């Protein structure tokens, strides 16, 4: 049932403050100021490396997790798409945590990668949404998301719930490694996510209003740095799959290594850039593109927009949030933009052509 919503995707975008809160509830113990993992009988301090394997949107959660786990816990993280991982004879060292991420828990390549890791003898974990799925049954450590059923083929609420669990895992690894300075602080940031997501949703009408401009484009580029780089990839994937507009995400610093050659007045550039230490660098990449005529949509907070919002075709103002939670909050406008562009183009948002919700064949 779509309720008041026109599409399941729209409903699922709107559900995020609630389902992310629901997911976080099983990972946060606010009274103890602790981030916990459910019933884990496994010594996380023995983890010396993490290998994340997933497909599509779930693989971007892995990439964002790499930034978090490496920064907070100082444990090296490798991320791979499952279709490559399972066939490339990967090296699995002892004391590796093999982590799969999947909404359905049935994606054929991810399931095969999980079985490969189990056969190699490493401990496996899974961030999984469907509790009765094959992966949920087969992983050693189940880290559930509580997004509820996701119907839209384009993953939205599963993505942000996976990020919430990933943040909890990164925090727990950091504690296990004796590197967590202020856990209460992390709890506070994570607890702020649902409210910040609601504030992001309040920009829906503005995003809808700018969608026709993007809908007219043939190509769209997304830029981000740090944890916002995988979010740029996610934005591009979302736009491609439901609006059929060609889109690519790039790490901002890669622009001058090739993609800037694509820039002209016809190419919208979606820049995902919360203010903070990486902001100036991203903005200078953005300005290089603007000098070549790029039509920029800047997604930032008030401070970022005040500094760099000029000469853009639109800005979308996010609340000022801690860098740890920025990918969850900035995911909202990225999803809404893809949604409204697809609606403007009149494509089938919930059942895009050529795609299946769950890819159970290779
Ligand atoms: O069920 P899974 O999370 O394993 O699915 C992985 C991908 O097939 C999925 O995220 C896909 O990329 C979505 N259509 C993205 O919106």
List, for residues 131-147, the tens digit of each pLDDT value: 999 999 999 999 999 99
Phi/psi for 96 (5° steps) reads: -95, 140
| pLDDT greater than 90 at residue 360 | no
Atom of ligand 1 nearest to the CA of 158: 3
Model's pTM, two decimal places? 0.97
Q: 357 an active-site residue?
A: yes
Which pLDDT band holds residue 354 (cuts at 50, 70, 90)?
confident
Smallest CA-to-CA distance from 251 within 278, 222, 275 is with 222
| pLDDT greater than 90 at residue 41 | no
Residue 357's pLDDT is what?
Answer: 85
Residue 53's pLDDT is what?
Answer: 98
| Residues facing 314 on adjacent strands | 297
Per-residue pLDDT tens over the stretch 296-317 = 999 999 999 999 999 999 999 9
Residue 324's pLDDT is what?
Answer: 96
Which pLDDT band holds residue 73 (cuts at 50, 70, 90)?
very high
Cα-to-centroid distance, 280 and ligand 1 (Å): 33
Catalytic residue (choose from 118, 240, 320, 357): 357
Per-residue pLDDT tens over the stretch 169-190 = 999 999 999 999 899 999 999 9
Atom of ligand 1 nearest to the CA of 357: 14
d(CA 208, CA 13): 14
Q: Tell me how long the chain is.
A: 362
Per-residue pLDDT tens over the stretch 188-212 = 999 999 999 999 999 999 999 999 9
Per-residue pLDDT tens over the stretch 241-283 = 999 999 999 999 999 999 998 999 999 999 999 999 999 999 9
Overall average pLDDT of the 145-155 stretch: 95
Residue 92's pLDDT is what?
Answer: 94
d(CA 88, CA 107): 18
| pLDDT greater than 80 at residue 39 | no
Q: Which residues of 232-264 are buried (b: 16+ CB within 10 A; e: fewer)?
A: bbbbbbbbbbbbebebbbbbbeebeeebbebbe
| pLDDT greater than 90 at residue 21 | yes
Cα dihedral 243, 248, 249, 252 sign: negative
* Rounded CA Rg of the chain: 20
Are 245 and 221 spatial neighbours (Cβ–Cβ below 8 Å)?
no
Say what the alpha-carbon torsion angle 92, 169, 171, 334 is, to the nearest 10 degrees: 110
Residue 167's pLDDT is what?
Answer: 98
CA dist 142 → 102, 136, 187, 200, 261 (Å)? 11, 6, 21, 30, 45
| pLDDT greater than 90 at residue 349 | no
Per-residue DSSP letter, 26: T
Cα dihedral 38, 42, 48, 53 sign: negative
Ligand 1 pocket check for 136: Cβ under 6 Å: no
Cα-to-centroid distance, 104 and ligand 1 (Å): 8
Which pLDDT band holds residue 1 (cuts at 50, 70, 90)?
confident
Per-residue pLDDT tens over the stretch 103-127 = 999 999 999 999 999 999 999 999 9
Q: Which tokens belong to 220?
A: 């769209």
Pocket test for ligand 1, best of 55, 59, 149, 355 (most atoms within 8 A of CB): 55
Per-residue pLDDT tens over the stretch 75-86 = 999 999 999 998
Phi/psi for 243 (5° steps) reads: -110, -10
Overall average pLDDT of the 283-290 stretch: 94
Ligand 1 pocket check for 107: Cβ under 6 Å: yes
Residues 6+ apart with CB under 8 A from 118: 98, 124, 138, 140
Cα-to-centroid distance, 252 and ligand 1 (Å): 25
Phi/psi for 308 (5° steps) reads: -135, 15
Q: Left (φ > 0), alpha (ψ -120 to 50) or beta: where does 164 sit?
A: alpha
**What is the number of H-type helices and E-type strands within the chain?**
14, 12
Residue 285's pLDDT is what?
Answer: 94
User: To the nearest whole percent, how much of the chain has pLDDT over 70?
Assistant: 100
Residue 96's pLDDT is what?
Answer: 97
**How do 28-29 and 34-35 pair as beta strands?**
antiparallel
Cα-to-centroid distance, 47 and ligand 1 (Å): 27
d(CA 47, CA 98): 10
Residue 320's pLDDT is what?
Answer: 98
Are 148 and 16 spatial neighbours (Cβ–Cβ below 8 Å)?
no
Ligand 1 pocket check for 103: Cβ under 6 Å: yes
Are 16 and 332 spatial neighbours (Cβ–Cβ below 8 Å)?
yes
Q: Which residues of 113-122 are buried (b: 16+ CB within 10 A; e: fewer)?
A: bbebbeeeeb
* ipTM over the 0.90 cut-off: yes
Are 234 and 330 spatial neighbours (Cβ–Cβ below 8 Å)?
no
């Amino acid at each position: 049932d779509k309720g008041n919503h026109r599409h399941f995707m729209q409903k699922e975008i709107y559900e995020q403050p609630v389902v992310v809160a629901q997911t976080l509830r099983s990972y946060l113990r606010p009274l103890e100021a602790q981030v916990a993992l459910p019933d884990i009988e496994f010594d996380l301090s023995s983890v010396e490396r993490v290998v994340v394997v997933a497909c599509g949107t779930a693989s971007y959660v892995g990439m964002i997790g790499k930034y978090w786990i490496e920064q907070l816990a100082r444990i090296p993280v490798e991320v791979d798409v499952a279709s490559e991982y399972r066939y490339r004879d990967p090296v699995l060292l002892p004391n590796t945590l093999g982590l799969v991420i999947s909404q359905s828990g049935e994606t054929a390549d991810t399931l095969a990668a999980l079985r490969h890791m189990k056969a190699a003898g490493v401990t496996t974990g899974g961030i999984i949404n469907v509790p009765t799925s094959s992966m949920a049954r087969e992983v050693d450590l189940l880290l559930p998301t509580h997004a509820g059923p996701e119907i839209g083929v384009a993953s939205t609420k599963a993505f942000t719930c996976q990020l919430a669990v990933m943040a909890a895992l990164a925090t727990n690894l950091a504690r296990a490694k004796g590197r967590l300075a202020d856990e209460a602080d992390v709890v506070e940031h994570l607890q702020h996510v649902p409210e910040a997501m609601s504030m992001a949703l309040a920009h829906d009408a503005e995003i809808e209003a700018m969608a026709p401009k993007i809908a007219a484009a043939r190509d769209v580029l997304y830029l981000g740095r740090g944890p916002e780089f995988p979010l740029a990839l996610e934005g591009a994937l979302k736009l491609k799959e439901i609006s059929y507009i060609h889109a690519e995400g790039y790490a901002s610093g890669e622009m001058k290594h090739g993609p800037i050659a694509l820039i002209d007045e016809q190419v919208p550039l979606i820049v995902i850039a919360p203010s903070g230490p990486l902001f100036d660098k991203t903005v200078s990449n953005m300005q290089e593109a603007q000098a070549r005529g790029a039509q920029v949509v800047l997604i930032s907070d008030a401070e970022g927009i005040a500094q760099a919002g000029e000469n853009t075709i639109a800005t979308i103002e996010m609340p000022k949030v801690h860098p740890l939670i920025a990918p969850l909050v900035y995911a909202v406008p990225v999803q809404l933009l893809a949604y409204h562009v697809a609606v403007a183009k009149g494509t089938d948002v919930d059942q895009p052509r050529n795609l299946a919700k769950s890819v159970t064949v290779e």
